[in-house]
Amino acid sequence: MAERIIRQGDIVDTVADAIVFSTNEHLFLSGGAGASLLGKHGKPLQEAMQRVMARRGLKVASRGSVFEIEPEESWGRMFAVVAANGFYETTREDTEAALHEVLHRCSETDGVKTVAITALGTGYGNMEIEDFVALFCAIEIPAPLESLELVIHSEILFREACEMNEQLGMPADVRH
């Protein structure tokens, strides 16, 4: 059975075979995890995000869309999820479907055993951290994935996530 982990930290400091993070409908790395990733990887990452949009012939992506960003030397496998629309609306159904898709794709990718994610749709979206944690704790982690780690930057949101995890009977291991 795969391990579930909730950890406070910055997604850019995470060691995982694949990283999953929220982005906006234009795939601009402008806030939250995207801004942290842009700060670490710079313009090449933003350009890679724009190329993936261009390959699909899109100027605007719909909520729930998943984009695999081509790996580069300074970053490995990354998946960007459009968790909210232009009005910052997020739904549990879209988020759950996107998370299922990402985990399925990761499970079919050679060398991917560990996946780290941010709390999709809780920053610029209207999803509450408690709702995302409930989804995170309930979602099936497909084999051969060995771990799914939720990385939360904010100490306040981390505490709220831990409280929800406790209410759910501690399905995830909490790490500081």
Tens of pLDDT, residue by residue over 99-133, are 999 999 999 999 999 999 999 999 888 999 999 99
pLDDT at site 124: 82
Residue 33 CA to residue 27 CA, distance in Å, equals 12
Tokens 């710079």 belong to 42
In 3D space, the residue among 158, 76, 163 whose CA is nearest the CA of residue 113 turns out to be 76
| Helix (H/G/I), strand (E/B), else coil: 90 | coil
Which regions in the chain score pLDDT beneath 70? Answer: none
Strand-pairing partners, residue 79, are 20, 68
Q: What is the CA radius of gyration of the chain?
A: 15
| CB-CB neighbours of 24 under 10 Å | 22
pLDDT at site 156: 96
Tokens 């009005």 belong to 87
pLDDT at site 52: 97
Overall fold of domain 3-175: Leucine Aminopeptidase, subunit E; domain 1 (3.40.220)
Residue 138 CA to residue 159 CA, distance in Å, equals 19
pTM, two decimals, is 0.96
Could you tell me how many helices (H) and strands (E) the chain has, helices first? Answer: 5, 7
49 CB-side CA count, 13 A: 28
- Long-range pairs for 39-42 at CB < 8 Å and ≥24 separation? 39/12, 40/12, 40/74, 41/72, 41/74, 41/75
